[in-house]
């Protein structure tokens, strides 16, 4: 009886394999003959419709973006203002609850004090007329260069004025005297 069950099971598996193989072949034929051409046709028909829809939608989207931009900017400004107010209120409430004041940075205070002191110094300098001495300011040095030494030689006579007469050729003092003799 054990052999009959094995052979019946093998027969069932063989039959199932035949049916599955037949179904696969039938599905392949359907895909190749019907589904792919239908998809290609649908793509071809959808392309112009999609292009037309895109062409119509782009100006509408651009117009909506232009109209929404000021509203969004105003909303962002309002939101930033509200956030600043909420932060200040939260800091105040936190300081009240903890009993501590918010500490300021020592470096920032030093910079602020230095900036104010500099502005006061500039204003004071402007009010004083901008100079503390009659020579035009303390920053200028009192250096004056010494006079040029005078020479004991008499000055050279002035050069003669140019004339229209041809000038006699003078030998070049830098020319090689040996090369001139060979010529």
Q: HEC profile for 157-168?
A: CCCCCCCCCCCC
The whole-angstrom separation of Cα 62 and Cα 56 is: 11
Higher pLDDT, 34 or 164: 34
Domain map of the chain by residue range? Answer: 1-100
Instruction: Kindly tell me the sign of the dihedral angle through the C-alpha atoms of 31, 32, 37, 42.
Output: positive
pLDDT digits (tens, 9 = 90+) for 14-35: 999 999 999 999 998 888 888 8
Return the closest-CA partner of residue 27 out of 36, 17, 14, 40: 36
pLDDT of residue 145: 76
The owner of tokens 């300011």 is 137
Q: What is the pTM of this model?
A: 0.29
pLDDT number for residue 152: 65
pLDDT at 92 (0 to 100): 83
Residue in the structure block whose two tokens are 């179904």: 23
**Residue 160 has what pLDDT?**
64
* C-alpha–C-alpha distance, residues 94 and 100, integer Å: 8
């Amino acid at each position: 009886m054990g052999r009959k069950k094995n052979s019946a099971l093998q027969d069932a598996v063989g039959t199932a394999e035949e049916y599955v193989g037949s179904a696969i072949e039938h599905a392949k034929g359907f895909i190749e003959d019907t589904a792919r051409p239908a998809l290609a046709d649908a793509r071809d028909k959808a392309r112009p419709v999609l292009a037309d829809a895109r062409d119509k939608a782009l100006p509408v989207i651009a117009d909506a973006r232009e109209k929404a931009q000021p509203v969004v900017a105003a909303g962002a400004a309002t939101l930033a203002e509200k956030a600043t107010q909420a932060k200040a209120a939260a800091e105040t409430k936190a300081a009240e609850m903890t009993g501590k004041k918010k500490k300021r940075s020592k470096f920032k205070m030093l910079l602020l004090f230095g900036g104010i002191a500099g502005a006061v110094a500039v204003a004071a300098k402007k009010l004083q007329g901008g100079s503390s001495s009659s020579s035009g300011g303390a920053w200028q040095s009192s250096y004056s260069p010494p006079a040029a030494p005078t020479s004991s030689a008499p000055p050279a006579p002035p050069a003669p004025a140019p004339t229209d007469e041809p000038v006699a050729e003078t030998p070049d003092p830098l020319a090689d005297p040996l090369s001139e003799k060979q010529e």
